[in-house]
């Protein structure tokens, strides 16, 4: 079976500590618990798309270490095609050092490891996956040249191209926008991309309009408890969030993106796809960790 959703991106092992609060600079803080779970924005989005009903292939790198084997296995058990997950000799797998506080906020430091070696040429070797896909997803935890190549190739092949610009540290290259069907930033990413302050629906709409003027087809700004704002050539539409008591927001954005992409691949309308992504993300924040927190399609109906 051809994978309808192809994710080109990162795989990380998440080393997660929970503490009452995040440590200040120079401070040693006693935490409450520690666990290790598979993560990485790319791999999380692949798992979300698979659990939410799509056939999925992952394109990415791990290191030739124990974490690399575990990261690959975590995708394989979800039925994700891992022929394009490559173990790079002599490098570590990507890791993310995550601290989650009592208010469920997190801070993350990532060490790219093998993710940093994902070159355009290494993705090109798996062009057949892109050719057979319907939806292609990228994030920003792999080299920008690779993201640029995948966006352009996805557009050339006529695929639905999604960019989740995470993590974002500034504006995107101008020549990327014309290749993007759906640009999906959260508030802080929308701020980094536009230089505008984004904290409510009106500021999110202004940022999304600016991103559309730069050439992005449609923009979805995810706003946590304030829901999501969808902006297209037809105007803007607010999708309120389901109220939940969050435990850990890690991978909530990834769950939204994967759920949205899977829904498009399953033939749902945009609005239905946004609601599916939101429902899945709402469940994910009530659970700890990245990939373990992502729900299955059947859970959305409960
Ligand atoms: O989006 C959450 C992810 O960001 C974590 O799983 C971590 O690996 C980092 O990439």
The pair of three-digit structure tokens given for residue 292, joined into one six-digit string:
């373990």
Task: From the CA of 44, give the closest atom in ligand 1.
Answer: 6
For the segment 28-44, the average pLDDT, to the nearest whole number, is 97
Q: Are 43 and 257 in contact (CB under 8 A)?
A: no
Q: Are 242 and 282 in contact (CB under 8 A)?
A: yes
Q: What distance in angstroms lies between residue 291's CA and the mean position of ligand 1's atoms?
A: 9
- Taking Cα atoms as reference points, which of 149, 159, 285, 288 lies closest to residue 222? 285
Please state, in angstroms and rounded to a whole number, the distance separating the CA atoms of residues 199 and 111.
29
Write out pLDDT tens, residues 75-97.
999 999 999 999 999 999 999 99
Q: What distance in angstroms lies between residue 250's CA and the mean position of ligand 1's atoms?
A: 7
Q: Whose CA is nearest to atom 7 of ligand 1?
A: 40
Q: Is the dihedral of CA 285, 291, 292, 296 positive or negative?
A: positive
The pair of three-digit structure tokens given for residue 284, joined into one six-digit string:
């994910």
Largest CA distance in the chain: 52
Going from the N-terminus, what domains does the chain have, and what CATH number goes with each? 5-11+41-91+116-300 (3.40.1190.20)
With the most atoms of ligand 1 within 8 angstroms of its CB, the residue from 108, 112, 114 to mutate is 108
Q: Is 294 helix (H, G, I), strand (E, B) or coil?
A: coil
The pair of three-digit structure tokens given for residue 54, joined into one six-digit string:
């799509």
Write out pLDDT tens, residues 198-253.
999 999 999 999 999 999 999 999 999 999 999 999 999 999 998 999 999 999 99
Write out pLDDT tens, residues 122-143.
999 999 999 999 999 999 999 9
Pocket-forming residues, ligand 1, beta carbon under 6 Å: 10, 12, 14, 39-41, 44, 96, 108, 110, 141, 250-251, 253-254, 290
Contacts by 201-206, CB closer than 8 A, 24 or more apart:
201/226, 201/229, 201/238, 204/229, 205/229, 205/231, 205/236
To the query of whether residue 20 is one of the catalytic residues in this protein, the response is no
pLDDT score, position 1: 57
For the segment 266-289, the average pLDDT, to the nearest whole number, is 96
pLDDT band at 105; cut points 50, 70, 90: confident
Please state, in angstroms and rounded to a whole number, the distance separating the CA atoms of residues 159 and 225.
31
Pairing of strands 81-88, 5-8: unpaired
pLDDT band at 268; cut points 50, 70, 90: very high
Distance of CA 272 to the CA centre of its chain: 19
Q: HEC states along 133-173?
A: CCEEEECCCCCHHHHHHHHHHHHHCCCEEEECCCCCCCCCC
pLDDT score, position 2: 67
Q: What distance in angstroms lies between residue 287's CA and the mean position of ligand 1's atoms?
A: 15
The pair of three-digit structure tokens given for residue 258, joined into one six-digit string:
């994967």
Q: What distance in angstroms lies between residue 191's CA and the mean position of ligand 1's atoms?
A: 19
Q: Could you tell me the pTM of the whole model?
A: 0.97
pLDDT band at 104; cut points 50, 70, 90: confident
């Amino acid at each position: 079976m051809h994978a309808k959703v192809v994710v080109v991106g990162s795989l990380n092992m998440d080393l997660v500590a929970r503490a009452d609060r995040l440590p200040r600079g120079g401070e040693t803080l006693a935490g409450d618990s520690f666990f290790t779970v598979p993560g990485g924005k790319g791999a999380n989005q692949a798992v979300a798309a698979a659990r939410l009903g799509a056939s999925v292939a992952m394109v990415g790198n791990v290191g030739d270490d124990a974490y690399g084997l575990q990261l690959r296995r975590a995708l394989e058990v979800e039925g994700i095609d891992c022929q394009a997950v490559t173990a790079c000799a002599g490098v570590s797998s990507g890791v993310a050092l995550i601290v989650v506080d009592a208010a469920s906020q997190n801070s993350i430091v990532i060490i790219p490891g093998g993710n940093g070696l994902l070159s355009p040429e290494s993705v090109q070797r798996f062009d057949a996956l892109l050719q057979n896909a319907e939806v292609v997803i990228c994030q920003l935890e792999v080299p920008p040249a690779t993201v640029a190549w995948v966006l352009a190739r996805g557009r050339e092949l006529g695929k639905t191209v999604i960019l989740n610009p995470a993590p974002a540290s500034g504006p995107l290259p101008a020549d990327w926008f014309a290749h993007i069907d759906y640009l999906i930033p959260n508030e802080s990413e929308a701020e980094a991309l536009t230089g505008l302050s984004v904290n409510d629906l009106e500021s999110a709409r202004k940022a999304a309009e600016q991103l559309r003027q730069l050439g992005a087809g449609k923009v979805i700004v995810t706003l946590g408890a304030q829901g999501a704002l969808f902006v297209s050539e037809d105007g803007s539409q607010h999708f309120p969030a389901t109220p939940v008591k969050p435990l850990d927001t890690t991978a909530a954005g990834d769950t939204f993106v994967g759920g949205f992409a899977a829904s498009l691949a399953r033939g749902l309308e945009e609005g239905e796809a946004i609601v599916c992504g939101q429902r899945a993300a709402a469940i994910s924040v009530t659970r700890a960790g990245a990939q373990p927190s992502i729900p299955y399609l059947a859970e959305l109906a409960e």
